[in-house]
């Protein structure tokens, strides 16, 4: 196999038939990678067409998936001649020989699978178009530089690379973000003013017109973005559509308006549901028809390259320049259909696709709740500036007008404990799809490089902003989330270019060994990310499931289970931490730190779900909610103290500071044993709901507090005698203080749980 300048040596020992077989194997590897890329690609791009339907719960999940699957299949067969992007859109194939082209394609596919799978694992939507473009750019630049370096007559890099395409993609990112967000916000604002949240009455008068406009927009989108580029469309048909586009739009608007009005009058069919389902089909079709190149374009180009090599007389991969890739291409329908089937299977089975969709839906949901992203100084500044600007604008708007506007934007009250309530309503879902369809179709007709992912996501974010979903309670977190996703898009371009560049260089010098190694490494990475995703998903589902199981009848027993579980884990963790600190075992301390982080995350999740739990309680049980919250607060304080004990200890050992002295170690070990017994007694009493031993528990606490005071005095004496270093003393004193806090919060928890039990027994006696 040719890599760099080594091919001429290899051909002396390798039979030409063997060389052909090696490249055949590489083509097979490309197709295997294509299947993997289809799976990870559809998992990420599913957010484009599933977000609105799933967020609005327009239909049962299986129905939504069936409609999306139908759109994917149709779109795959409509796939246009966009396969050129993988053949000649980014680089000039005539400047590379067959061996170099295969290195480029292999580097691109391995990079794409790893990159998209990583984004899917963390539930972050990104653009598959940007990833494939910059991977092709990175790999081709790497090989071009190698050719220039080893050439006697070096050429300019511009003769190898089509750099204008990359610049167009970058400008497309900025263009998509600004335009889509602005239009989504503006259209949603006026649509909500027209329909309000209680939109059912006004649908009688304006529903058919809105439906006609919406579906016409979607049909226009399908004509421009889908059908016109279909592989089976003749040039005459495409010309007729282009010539009669105005007639088609007017006819569609009038026809669909009449149809919707009749359907509403006769069958009372929900016009908005029909719009959302048609829009879901259209976007799924456009995704499969236009983004299919991102997944199978490179392998098909590799396959065509292999056929050209196979037909060449000499059979020398270094001599065959790939001018053939510059020509027009007609992709066999069989390949397109098979790719569509793989995408449909992935759509139904991929759990990561649901994670990516969840990120988008959560950022736009109408209700508040647990936020995935934290606030940042930038998001706080933007929200503060927006609030100030809004207040300034409101000074010029009459109060009566403001009052009417606020009335239109008042959400309908609902049971907040209802997990099946949609994240947003059908009005916003229809706006998301209509605006995204119009912008993508219009941008495509003007040959602007708008990304489907960017447009659909930013339209949804703009609509959620103007719909009041980003209120004072959630705005900073949602803004951070949006900036995180946008930052991920730019990171996609940078990482795709860099990784593909490095892998291409690795293949150039490492030959078949490097290729085999990277294939195995990519399999391992996908396996690891799959495990990580399952673990994260399992933790989230467990926390959500636990909150759903809490009812009037079992709130006390659920609370007892949570308390005893965390208490037992806390005392065991504290013991291990003190032992690891005494032994200066940094590996064990890091492990303990992760354990505490998991415990804290679990307790935080319980606290964040407390509003849903209280909302489910009956009026006569509302006092139970007070006790439940109080117990959770003390649990979190215990975990905070545990964290403040372990984190400084871990940092101390990591920084290789002097270990604790023998006296300090002995005193902490004594505290560890006594604290373990103290926590065990509290846990036992709470489990049995028997609090007759409270005097003994309080005596144990006092003994611990007295010891802590004694050990603090001992440390002061050691400091006076200069028997301990400054850092040791600070760490020791901090550990004593946090141990004291653990003692105090544990007894407070004990008393709160006792009061909870007494209240439940007095007001809800067990039935005999």
Q: Which sign does the torsion angle of CA 75, 76, 82, 86 carry?
A: positive
Contact yes or no for 90/329 (Cβ under 8 A):
no
The pLDDT value given to residue 429: 92
In whole angstroms, give the CA distance from residue 377 to residue 371. Answer: 17
State the CB neighbour count (10 A cutoff) for residue 430.
28
In whole angstroms, give the CA distance from residue 452 to residue 435. Answer: 12
State the CB neighbour count (10 A cutoff) for residue 26.
18
Which fold, 550-763? Methane Monooxygenase Hydroxylase; Chain G, domain 1 (1.20.58)
In whole angstroms, give the CA distance from residue 511 to residue 186. Answer: 55
The pLDDT value given to residue 231: 55
Report how far apart, in Å, the C-alpha atoms of 420 and of each of 50, 59, 93, 372 are: 17, 12, 53, 20
Distance of CA 318 to the CA centre of its chain: 43
DSSP track, 37-61:
HHHHHHHHHHHHHHHHHHHHT-S-H
Contacts of 45 (CB under 8 A, 6+ apart): 125, 128, 287, 291, 452, 453
Distance of CA 316 to the CA centre of its chain: 46
Averaged pLDDT in 10-residue chunks for the chain of 768 residues: 40 55 84 84 77 88 88 74 58 83 90 87 80 87 88 78 72 78 92 88 87 88 63 72 85 92 88 91 78 77 83 72 70 77 83 78 79 83 87 87 87 69 88 86 66 84 89 85 86 90 91 87 84 67 54 67 83 91 90 87 72 60 69 86 91 88 90 90 87 89 92 88 78 92 90 81 61
Distance of CA 38 to the CA centre of its chain: 18
Contacts of 355 (CB under 8 A, 6+ apart): 120, 121, 123, 533, 537
**End-to-end distance of the chain based on CA atoms, in angstroms?**
83
The pLDDT value given to residue 698: 92
Contact yes or no for 495/489 (Cβ under 8 A):
no
Residue with tokens 């170099």: 100
Instruction: Determine phi and psi for 158, rounding to 5 degrees.
Output: -65, -20
DSSP track, 473-507:
TTHHHHHHHHHHHHHHHHHHHHHHHHHHHHHHHHH
State the CB neighbour count (10 A cutoff) for residue 206.
14
In whole angstroms, give the CA distance from residue 84 to residue 107. Answer: 18
In whole angstroms, give the CA distance from residue 586 to residue 655. Answer: 10
Q: Report residue 650 as tokens.
A: 């871990």
The pLDDT value given to residue 107: 92
Q: Report residue 604 as tokens.
A: 């935080």
Dihedral Cα 89, 91, 92, 98, nearest 10 deg: -110
Domain residue spans of the chain? 18-362+373-538, 550-763
Contacts of 126 (CB under 8 A, 6+ apart): 44, 116, 119, 453, 488, 489, 492
Contacts of 498 (CB under 8 A, 6+ apart): 138
The model carries a pTM of 0.74
């Amino acid at each position: 196999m040719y890599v760099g300048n080594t091919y001429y040596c290899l051909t002396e020992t390798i039979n030409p038939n063997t060389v052909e077989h090696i490249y055949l194997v590489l083509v097979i590897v490309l197709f295997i990678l294509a299947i993997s890329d289809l799976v990870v690609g559809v998992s990420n791009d599913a957010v484009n067409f599933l977000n609105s339907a799933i967020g609005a719960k327009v239909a049962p999940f299986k129905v939504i998936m069936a409609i999306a699957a139908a759109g994917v299949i149709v779109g795959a067969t409509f796939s246009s001649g966009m396969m050129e992007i993988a053949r000649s859109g980014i680089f000039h194939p005539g400047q590379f020989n067959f061996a170099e082209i295969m290195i480029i394609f292999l580097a691109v596919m391995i990079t794409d699978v790893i990159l998209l799978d990583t984004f899917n694992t963390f539930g972050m939507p990104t653009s598959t178009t940007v990833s494939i473009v910059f991977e092709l750019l990175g790999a081709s630049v790497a090989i071009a530089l190698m050719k220039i370096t080893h050439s006697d007559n070096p050429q300019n890099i511009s003769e190898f690379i089509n750099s204008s395409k990359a610049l167009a993609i970058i400008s497309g990112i900025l263009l998509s973000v600004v335009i889509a967000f602005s239009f989504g916000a503006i259209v949603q604002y006026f649509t909500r003013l027209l329909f309000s949240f209680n939109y059912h009455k006004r649908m009688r008068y304006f529903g058919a017109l809105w439906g006609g406009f919406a579906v016409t927009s979607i049909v226009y989108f399908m004509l421009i973005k889908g059908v016109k580029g279909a592989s089976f469309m003749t040039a005459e048909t495409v010309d007729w559509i282009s010539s009669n586009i105005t007639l088609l739009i007017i006819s569609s608007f009038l026809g669909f308006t009449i149809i919707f009005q009749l359907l509403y009058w006769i069958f009372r069919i929900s016009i908005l549901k029909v719009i959302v389902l048609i829009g879901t089909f259209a976007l799924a079709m456009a995704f499969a028809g236009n983004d299919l190149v991102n997944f199978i374009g490179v392998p098909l180009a590799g396959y065509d390259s292999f056929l050209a090599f196979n037909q060449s007389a000499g059979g020398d991969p270094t001599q065959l320049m790939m001018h053939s890739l510059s020509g027009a291409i007609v992709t066999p329908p069989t390949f397109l259909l098979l790719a569509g089937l793989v995408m449909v299977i992935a759509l139904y089975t991929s759990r990561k696709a649901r994670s990516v969709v969840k990120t988008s839906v959560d950022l736009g949901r109408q209700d508040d709740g647990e936020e995935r992203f934290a606030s940042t100084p930038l998001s706080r500044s933007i929200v503060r500036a927006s609030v100030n600007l809004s207040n300034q604008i409101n000074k010029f708007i009459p109060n009566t007008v403001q009052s009417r506007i606020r009335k239109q934007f008042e959400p309908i009250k609902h049971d907040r404990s209802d997990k099946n309530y949609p994240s947003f309503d059908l009005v916003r879902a229809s706006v998301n799809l209509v605006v995204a369809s119009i912008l993508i179709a219009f941008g495509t007709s003007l040959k602007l490089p708008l990304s489907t992912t960017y447009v659909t996501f930013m339209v949804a974010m703009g609509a959620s902003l103007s719909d009041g979903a980003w209120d004072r309670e959630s705005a900073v977190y949602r803004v951070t989330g949006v900036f995180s996703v946008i930052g991920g898009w730019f990171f996609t371009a940078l990482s795709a270019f860099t990784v593909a560049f490095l892998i291409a260089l690795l293949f150039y010098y490492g030959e078949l060994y490097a290729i085999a190694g990277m294939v195995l490494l990519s399999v391992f990475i996908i396996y690891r990310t799959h495990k990580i995703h399952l673990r994260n998903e399992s933790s989230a589902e467990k926390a959500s499931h636990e909150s759903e199981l809490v009812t009037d009848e079992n709130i006390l027993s659920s609370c007892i289970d949570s308390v005893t579980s965390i208490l037992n884990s806390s005392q065991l963790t504290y013991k291990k931490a003190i032992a690891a600190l005494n032994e200066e075992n940094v590996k064990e301390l890091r492990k303990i730190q992760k354990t505490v982080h998991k415990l804290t995350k679990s307790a935080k999740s319980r606290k964040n779900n407390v509003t849903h739990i209280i909302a489910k309680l009956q009026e006569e049980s509302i006092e139970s909610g007070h006790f439940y919250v109080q117990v959770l607060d003390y649990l979190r304080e215990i975990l905070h103290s545990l964290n403040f004990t372990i984190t400084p200890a871990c940092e101390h050992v990591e920084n290789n500071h002097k270990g604790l002295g023998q006296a300090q170690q002995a005193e902490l070990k004594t505290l560890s044993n006594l604290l373990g017994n103290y926590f065990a007694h509290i846990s036992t009493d709470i489990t049995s709901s028997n609090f007759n031993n409270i005097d003994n528990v309080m005596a144990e606490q006092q003994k611990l507090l007295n010891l802590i005071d004694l050990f603090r005095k001992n440390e002061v004496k050691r400091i006076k005698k200069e028997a301990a270093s400054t850092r040791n003393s600070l760490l020791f004193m901090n550990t004593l203080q946090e141990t004291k806090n653990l003692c105090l919060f544990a007894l407070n928890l004990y008393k709160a749980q006792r009061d909870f039990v007494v209240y439940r027994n007095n007001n809800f006696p067990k039935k005999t």
